[in-house]
């Protein structure tokens, strides 16, 4: 098997002898390593839905767009064989979608564009007003981040301890790992605010904007 440099594998992952989840695994190094990401939100007791004691259905496929992957799988959570899908964003995502004022903490981003953009520059941009308008550059490259004061703030303090690795160069796999750090607790008055993020990729000129992701500030 010789997979392309940037490839996606869809697989059913047993969580125990009886339960099964569907995962998407992405490789940006020709299949040498994969990053695993859960696609189904719940597991199911696959033995109760198999035909003949071992057949779970042929309804497995994977489609993609510029910003997302759409895995489709046979799911038995209703005790019948149903076809499920869920859009997966693999070029930018976080390890958590909340940040608590009471405890503070970090949000770790995974930015993975693929090896075709290895060595390109990147900038992780932020917004508190949303993603509906976004920023469109003269060459047509669009980043789904509404420009506001937080955008300016994140640019101004990029690569400081609070916005570590928000600006830099993608590695040979087209990856980077920015971190948002509250540096301790923060004012609970900010609870309810949602921070939006998307990355701009620049290989001499703006060339790609990732999907947006968000982090909610909670008490």
Q: How many domains does the chain have?
A: 2
Are 136 and 210 members of one domain?
A: yes
In a domain, 2, yes or no: no
Instruction: With CA atoms as reference, report the closest residue to 127 among 99, 105, 155.
Output: 155
- Give me the pLDDT at residue 54, please: 66
- Structural domain containing residue 73: 7-85
- Each of the 219 residues of the chain gets a pLDDT tens digit; together they read 444 545 556 666 666 555 677 787 777 666 777 777 777 887 777 777 776 666 676 667 887 766 667 788 878 788 778 888 877 767 899 999 999 999 999 999 999 888 888 999 999 999 999 999 999 999 999 999 999 999 999 999 999 999 999 999 999 989 999 999 999 999 999 999 999 999 999 999 999 999 999 999 999
Are 63 and 96 members of one domain?
A: no
Are 71 and 98 members of one domain?
A: no
Are 166 and 66 members of one domain?
A: no
CATH code of residue 114: 2.60.40.10
Are 50 and 117 members of one domain?
A: no
Domain finish residue from 52, 68, 85: 85
In a domain, 193, yes or no: yes
Beta strands in the chain (DSSP E): 7-14, 19-27, 35-38, 44-45, 61-64, 69-75, 82-85, 92-94, 98-100, 106-112, 121-127, 135-136, 142-143, 163-164, 167-169, 175-176, 179-181, 194-202, 206-209, 213-218
């Amino acid at each position: 098997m010789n997979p392309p440099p940037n490839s996606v594998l869809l697989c059913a992952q047993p969580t125990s002898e009886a339960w099964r989840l569907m995962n998407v695994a992405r490789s940006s190094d020709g299949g040498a390593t994969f990053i695993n990401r859960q696609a189904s939100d719940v597991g199911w007791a696959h033995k109760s839905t198999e035909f003949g004691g071992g057949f779970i259905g042929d309804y497995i496929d994977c489609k993609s767009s510029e910003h997302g992957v759409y895995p489709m799988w046979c799911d038995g959570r209703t005790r019948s064989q149903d076809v499920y899908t869920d859009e997966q964003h693999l070029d930018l995502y976080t390890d958590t979608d909340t940040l608590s004022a009471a405890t503070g903490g970090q949000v770790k981003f995974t930015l993975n564009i693929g090896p075709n953009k290895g060595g390109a520059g990147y900038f992780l941009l932020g917004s508190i007003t949303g993603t509906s308008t976004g920023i469109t550059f003269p060459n047509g490259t669009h980043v789904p981040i509404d420009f506001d004061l937080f955008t300016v703030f994140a640019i101004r303090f990029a690569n400081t301890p609070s916005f570590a690795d928000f600006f830099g160069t993608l590695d040979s796999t087209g990856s980077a790992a920015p971190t948002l750090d509250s540096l301790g607790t923060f004012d609970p008055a900010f609870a309810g605010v949602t921070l939006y993020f998307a990355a701009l990729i620049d290989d001499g000129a703006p060339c790609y904007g990732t999907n947006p992701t968000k982090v909610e500030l909670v008490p």
